[in-house]
Amino acid sequence: MFGYAIANQDKLSRDSYEKYRAVYCGLCRRLGELHRGIDKLTLTYDLVLLILTLSSVTNTPFEEAETRCAPHPFRPHAYMTNAYTDYAADMSVVLAYYKFLDDKNDDGGFANAIKTAVFRKEALAVNSEHPEVCQEIQRRLQELSDAERRGERNPDVPAGIFGALLGAIFAGAQAGPKTALYDFGTRLGKVIYLMDASVDLQTDLRKERYNPLIRTDFSSCEKLLELLLADCMEACNALPIGSDRDILENILLSGIWTSYERQKKEGEKRR
């Protein structure tokens, strides 16, 4: 479901790019420290948006240091962390667990069973740390599964459910204006869900799989996405963003479309 809310790094200033990269490296490091052994299976640039948003609206500074790691063993590089880095690491583990669990239930397979078993212990630990958020994630995923199972044709229904899930994650860190963060996460979640559905539409039609856009004119999908992303930007502008506005706007105005176009092309090549 993720892979869209990523910066267009070619259009970031050098300083902003270095910070964006350092926050990502900080997330990688904390995933390894908090959830050792499964960090690389959950690491994604999407969660950097969560970290930067929560840090910005609360004016929470980052701690910066240097390290070497397996992917970059020879040259030290900067990484940046704060409390929201840990929160994002926890959320990525929970989301990965439910994805693997869903794959196991839908498709079976030894690999999915192993991944689910490995992530279960970590997910339970996160649940004890963030019980309200985790319960909301589980509830929304069940609603989403029910909507998909009954073949819901109104795309706003499953998109709204996934939006509420992402809204709960943004608001669940007990940071800043909870209502405004929930609103932003909800609108962003709708965009992400329908972008993913748009990318998969042709394949799902051919394979006779569920897709909420199956009765939507393909040419109108991007117009719908433009409207939803405008709503998302409106919610972003309502947040008291204190720093890193340029990175957040880059993600929402440029990066998300760049990622969408890339995934569309990759889908066409696979077909």
Those residues whose C-beta lies under 8 Å from the C-beta of residue 121, and which sit 6 or more positions away, are: none
How is the chain split into domains, by residue range? 9-270
* Amino acid letter, residue 104: K
**23 in Cβ contact with 64 (< 8 Å):** no
User: In CATH, which of 3.40.640.10, 1.10.600.10, 3.30.70.20, 1.10.3720.10 is domain 9-270?
Assistant: 1.10.600.10
pLDDT band at 53 (very low <50, low <70, confident <90, very high): very high
**134 in Cβ contact with 94 (< 8 Å):** yes
* Amino acid letter, residue 64: E
* Amino acid letter, residue 4: Y
pLDDT tens-digit readout, 167-210: 999 999 877 799 999 999 999 999 999 999 999 988 888 888 89
Token representation of residue 41:
């299976």
Those residues whose C-beta lies under 8 Å from the C-beta of residue 218, and which sit 6 or more positions away, are: 201, 202
Model pTM?
Answer: 0.92
Looking at residue 28, the DSSP 8-state letter turns out to be H
pLDDT tens-digit readout, 197-251: 999 988 888 888 899 998 877 677 888 899 999 999 999 999 999 999 999 999 9
